[in-house]
Every structure is written in C-alpha cells, then in structure tokens.
Structure 1
C-alpha cells in the first residue's frame, strides 16, 4: 500500500494536497526530465489504474485525456465537463504517492483567464504537471495563433507561480499530429512553436506523431528543452530513444 499523503479540505469543499508535499513532488518530477535517463510515463484513467501503475514500479503517472473521457462516457477533445476531468485527476492523485501530471488538453478554455482557472483547480486536485496543447478544440483541427498560444503558456505558468507550486508544464504542439501545412514546412513550424513555448515558461516540449528515427535525430538538437514523444507504432525502442536524447515517452491512450 502506498504511504498516506496529507490532504485538506479547502473552502470550496475540494480535496487539496498539502502544498509542501506537492512542491516536493513537483521538484522531483522536474528532475526526472534531466535527460540522464528517459522518463517512461504510463497513462492512467482512474484511481485503480493509477494504483496498478504505481505498484508496477512507475516513477510518475500521467493521465490520458482520452482514457479519462472514455471511462466516463465522453469522446476525447474536451467533450467532457471540466469539473469531471478535474475530479478524475483528484481521485488519481489521492491514491498514489508518486507525482501525477495531468493531460488537460487545451485547458478547457478559450481565453487565458479561464485557462489560468483550470490550472489552479488542477493544482488543487493534486497534480504537479500538465500537458497543454495548442490545438483549438472547435472541430476545425486548427492551432491557436502562435502569439495566443504563447500567452496561454505564460498564463499557465503565472497561475502555477501564484499557487506556489513549480508545476511542470509539458507544452504540446500538434503540427505533426494534425498534419498542419506542407510536410516540408512542418519541422520548422513545430520547432518554432515549441521553442516559443519553452521561452514562455514550458519545461518540456511535446510533439506527438513524430515516429521516424531521422525526424527524432533532427528534432532533439533543435529544441531548447527536453523532448517528449508519444508511443506511436513504429517508433524506435525505448533504449534507442534514450540514446537519441529523448527525455520523456508517454504511452498515451
């Protein structure tokens, strides 16, 4: 059984992890991105799967937006209510002792102020990291304009700083996932976005749908921060990804 973690009830009757415990977990989670050893992140969708993952020896746990949504009867893509997403994160964080990072998609918010509120509530739920996408969830399969997306990363960082938790922000660009623009321009487009997010306060940079070794070799040195890959069929094996300099691998849905 995992050791007990101290939680308190806040004024909104939400369960909140002790801030000292949370800060320590956030720092430990950030240290896992130093690229000395690849961080392999299994993804949980409820409290039971999180417990199984922890007891199997994982160093940290990530939630899966799709898995969480599917488990309560919604499709992926911010279709589930924000309150239900946050409640699921709280249940997961409450039953494990290792760091939990939450996939909050694009923050369940179209403006920076509402995004900051999502981040504050996710921190209150016990998460010490987030995935934040630059995709607009309105059915258009488009990305936020770069300046807007950068402002959203800044808003997430400011909200975490205000809460007193060194939240690990994994900024995700969906240039490759959505096939944005001409294939010949995607590398430059994705790198420009990812590095701008890093400058705005992101800790790790997530480019899902990158699969080929040649692309990975090109991307790793071009990024200004740790590189997160998604476990798509056909990607190199974990030990090879580590040799290539990939910092983090997410299992995903």
Structure 2
C-alpha cells in the first residue's frame, strides 16, 4: 500500500512564524523524507504562490469559506486541498438549525434534501 507522508507546518495557523520560517520548516520536513507539506491557515493567493514555488515538494492547504476555488489554487501550484473540520462544521450547523426549527417554529423544512446512510456512504466510494 503506498504511503504519502504529508508534513504539517503550523507556523501560519498558529501565527508562530513568517513565510521564511514556514519555508525553512517545509524544507526540513522534505529533507527528512516527507512527501509533501501541509500548511493550514494559508489561502491568500500571493502567499500560496510563494509557498508553492518555494517548497521543494507538493503543497497542501486547508480550504473553506473565503478560500479561492480549487482550480485557482491548482493554478497557483497547490497539489492537494484538505477540508479539515469544515464539512463537519457545516453539518453541525445544519443539525443545530434543524434541531432549533422543530421547537421554535414547529416545522422541519431544514430536513429537506437529507441523505440516507447508504447514499452518504456511496459518496466517498471510489470502487474500493
């Protein structure tokens, strides 16, 4: 089974280092054998481009509302995108709205468009 080691560089997410420090850590991880680097907290196109050009391996960023579309990130040099907790947070928001709608309004319109477990499981099945 192929293994891809994606080294996480938290300098931007935690605010513990600038671009130089981020690239320095990315280089160290790649020199140590990582296959790529994951820099969450960066979606600004200028910064993404600098990181993609400066890292000597594939760049992975975390996306969500406000991030450029995947095609734009790819054009900037991003090799991988991660949703992080975003999809779960969106689902939690829907659960909260649906749970509040019933006692507050006595309706259940937010439940429209729900998926059964089988259909949901099929969303990620790639013929495995």
TM-score bracket for the superposition, by shorter chain length: 0.5 to 0.7
* Secondary structure of the corresponding residue to residue 168 of structure 1: coil
- SS of the aligned residue for 2:65 comes to coil
Higher strand share: 1
Q: Which residue of 2 aligns with 1:187?
A: 19
Question: Are 2:28 and 1:196 aligned?
Answer: yes
Tell me if 1:239 matches 2:71.
Answer: yes
Residue 54 of structure 2: aligned partner: 222
**Contact in 2 for aligned 1:211/1:232 (Cα 8 Å):** no
Report SS of the residue matched to 2:67: coil
Instruction: Judge conservation of contact 1:212–1:234 (CA < 8 Å) in 2.
Output: no
CA distance in structure 1 between the partners assigned to 2:50 and 2:66 by the alignment: 17
Stretches of 4+ aligned residues off by more than 6 angstroms: none
Pairwise CA distance, 1:238? 0.8
Q: Please give the per-residue CA displacement for 1:45-104, whole angstroms capped at 9, x wherever unaligned.
A: xxxxxxxxxxxxxxxxxxxxxxxxxxxxxxxxxxxxxxxxxxxxxxxxxxxxxxxxxxxx
Secondary structure at the aligned position of 1:242 is classed as helix
**1:244 to partner: Cα distance:** 1.2
Q: Which has the larger radius of gyration?
A: 2
Aligned-residue CA RMSD in angstroms?
A: 1.0
Asked if 1:175 is matched to 2:11, the reply is: yes
For 1:6-45, list aligned pairs within 5 A. Answer: 23=1, 26=2
Secondary structure in 2 aligned to 1:249?
A: strand
Q: CA deviation at 1:233?
A: 2.8
Aligned length: 85
TM-score by length of 1: 0.33
TM-score by length of 2: 0.63
More helix by share: 2
User: Cα distance, 1:197 vs. partner?
Assistant: 0.3
